[in-house]
Amino acid sequence: MIDHAKALEEKIRTNEARIGTLGLGYVGLPLSVEFAAAGLSVTGFDVSAEKVDAVNAGRSYVKDVPEDRLAPLVRGGRLRASRDFEGLAACDAVIICVPTPLGKTRDPDLSMVVDAARSIAKHLRPGQLVVLESTTYPGTTEELILPLLTEGGLKVGESFFLAFSPERVDPGNARYTTRNTPKIIGGSTPACARVAQALYARAIDTVIPVSSTRAAEMVKLLENTFRSVNIGLVNEVALMCDRLGVDVWEVIDAAASKPFGFMPFYPGPGLGGHCIPIDPLYLSWKLKTLNYRARFIELAGEVNSEMPEYVCERVAAALNEREKSVKGSAVLVLGVSYKRDVDDVRESPALDILRLLESRGARVGYNDPNVPELHLSGATLESQELMPAVRRADVVVIVTDHSSYRYAEIVDAARVVVDTRNATKGIDSPKIIKL
């Protein structure tokens, strides 16, 4: 009888294993590069012809993947991209890195994960490893993926192997990359965990096994729920400080001087991105099916979702102090990506702020060095030239604190600045109104 686990581990050890990544976005492409750089043969699969063509030409569309790192791997034959999912049959390990957004009813939309699993199931053969990296609720791997993969009669842990390893990508983070960020591994069986650990150890510095796929799924949700709840807390503290006449930024900086028992979080215009606004809702949704209400998650979500409205109130107050109304005023938003120095606008609070101000009659515009074009309310906006737009605006709103902005110059040229990120810290001017 063939020991498929030992055979696959040997293939991984000798760099004979062929790796397939399903999804070539901000998770799949960096991961593909790391495996290829480790000496393994990698094929990235994606439905997007644009992404496939770019990868095969050695062009990167992900900021965290430099072209001078991608291109040599493509030229050397270590990495290629394909839209032909028949090629999954030739892969020894397949890693699912597809998006898991929320549906219109704010419930988990796992349609892309299911489609990926079905594609794999069509080509699943003995000796293959399947890993899900897409963020989801605890139980997904065992309850959703495993049944699809066992329909053909293969037995998990013996004929094939299944694991969950949550992605931990932080776009724009130069210090922590795919390679040096510790990787969590949870297998459906001990053999599954062992094989998956052997694979990731080829490309990741530190691999941390946990007892099950469900535990690994929960790890990811705890990480981002922790952030969401603490950001919700500090956002509420900002609202309290406003009513108390206290500078919340001064309070946080002073509290952060305590060397134990305190971790600083900072208020802002709302949550954005692919993880923090969404992941806790996956956990909350799952717990509802078990007749449990995730109260902290729901309360934090409520506070965080109201921050764009609060920002608009601050804008209105700033204009009122200068005997202007929101209606008819020119409002310039600085930064529309969801975080500093990235080009991703998914769930960005800037979008809500622009819509809310527009609904109040403001003439809205934006500048973002990373986002040249923005689709808003059925219209297309273009990033305006920075300093002329600052001078034209009745109020400038700093929503995303890109490092390329020269804030002293912006404050000097602006009529009034509403700063939601404390980007103007250290600049003494009566023009500045902070969150």
How large a percentage of the chain has pLDDT more than 70? 100
What integer best gives the mean pLDDT of the chain? 95
Q: What is the pLDDT of residue 2?
A: 85
Rounded to an integer, what distance in angstroms lies between the CA atom of residue 413 and that of residue 411?
A: 5
- Whether the CB-CB separation of 10 and 84 falls below 8 Å is answered with no
Pairing of strands 161-164, 183-187: antiparallel
Nearest-CA neighbor of 37 among 68, 73, 74, 81?
73
Rounded to an integer, what distance in angstroms lies between the CA atom of residue 15 and that of residue 77?
A: 14
Other C-beta atoms closer than 10 Å to the C-beta of 226 total 14
Other C-beta atoms closer than 10 Å to the C-beta of 346 total 15
pLDDT band at 121 (very low <50, low <70, confident <90, very high): very high
Residue 274 has pLDDT above 80, yes or no: no
pLDDT band at 181 (very low <50, low <70, confident <90, very high): very high
Rounded to an integer, what distance in angstroms lies between the CA atom of residue 13 and that of residue 397?
A: 53
Active site residues: 275
| Helix/strand/coil percentages in the chain, nearest 5 | 40, 15, 45
Instruction: Compute CA distances 145 → 96, 141, 232, 259, whole Å.
Output: 11, 5, 33, 45
The pLDDT tens digits for 21-40 are: 999 999 999 999 999 999 99
Best CATH choice for the domain 228-434 from the list 3.20.20.150, 3.30.1360.10, 3.40.50.720, 2.20.25.10: 3.40.50.720
The pLDDT tens digits for 9-22 are: 999 999 999 999 99
Please tell me the total number of residues recorded for the chain in this structure.
435
The pLDDT tens digits for 293-337 are: 999 999 999 999 999 999 999 999 999 999 999 999 999 999 999
Residue 105 has pLDDT above 90, yes or no: no
Rounded to an integer, what distance in angstroms lies between the CA atom of residue 129 and that of residue 185?
A: 13
Helix axis angle for 349-359 and 307-320, nearest 10°, is 50
Q: For residue 68, give the H/E element and its range.
A: helix 67-75
| Per-residue DSSP letter, 155 | P
Can you name the residues that pair with 395 across neighbouring β-strands? 331
Backbone angles phi, psi at 156, to 5 degrees: -70, 140
Can you name the residues that pair with 376 across neighbouring β-strands? 379
Rounded to an integer, what distance in angstroms lies between the CA atom of residue 426 and that of residue 206?
A: 39
Q: Which residues contact 50 (CB under 8 A, 6 or more apart)?
A: none
Domain with CATH 3.40.50.720 in the chain: 4-211, 228-434
Q: What is the pLDDT of residue 276?
A: 85
Q: What is the pLDDT of residue 174?
A: 86
Rounded to an integer, what distance in angstroms lies between the CA atom of residue 377 and that of residue 424?
A: 30
Q: What is the pLDDT of residue 393?
A: 98
Q: Give the mean model confidence (pLDDT) for residues 119-125.
A: 95
- Rounded to two decimals, the pTM is 0.92
Rounded to an integer, what distance in angstroms lies between the CA atom of residue 61 and that of residue 64?
A: 9
Q: What is the pLDDT of residue 278?
A: 87
Q: What is the pLDDT of residue 386?
A: 98
pLDDT band at 378 (very low <50, low <70, confident <90, very high): confident
The pLDDT tens digits for 130-141 are: 999 999 999 999
Q: What is the pLDDT of residue 107?
A: 83
Tokens 């952030």 correspond to 227
Other C-beta atoms closer than 10 Å to the C-beta of 307 total 25
Q: Is 105 exposed, middle or buried (0-12, 13-18, 19+ CB in 10 A)?
A: exposed
Structure tokens belonging to residue 368: 């973002």
Can you name the residues that pair with 333 across neighbouring β-strands? 366, 397
Pairing of strands 330-334, 363-367: parallel
Rounded to an integer, what distance in angstroms lies between the CA atom of residue 435 and that of residue 433?
A: 7
Give the burial string for 359-373 (b: 16+ CB within 10 Å, else e).
ebebbbbbbbbbbee
pLDDT band at 106 (very low <50, low <70, confident <90, very high): confident
Nearest-CA neighbor of 20 among 111, 73, 89?
89
- Whether the CB-CB separation of 187 and 156 falls below 8 Å is answered with no
The pLDDT tens digits for 235-268 are: 999 999 999 999 999 999 999 999 999 999 999 9
Other C-beta atoms closer than 10 Å to the C-beta of 261 total 6
The pLDDT tens digits for 192-241 are: 999 999 999 999 999 999 999 999 999 999 999 999 999 999 999 999 99
Which class is domain 4-211? Answer: alpha beta
Q: For residue 238, give the H/E element and its range.
A: helix 213-244
Residue 142 has pLDDT above 80, yes or no: yes
Rounded to an integer, what distance in angstroms lies between the CA atom of residue 337 and that of residue 274?
A: 12
Rounded to an integer, what distance in angstroms lies between the CA atom of residue 32 and that of residue 43?
A: 8
Nearest-CA neighbor of 383 among 398, 401, 370?
370
- Residue 264 one-letter amino acid: P
Q: Please report which residue ranges of 263-361 form alpha helices under DSSP H.
A: 279-288, 295-305, 307-320, 349-359
Q: What is the pLDDT of residue 108?
A: 87
Q: What is the pLDDT of residue 352?
A: 96
Residue 1 has pLDDT above 90, yes or no: no
Judged by DSSP in three states, 398 sits in strand
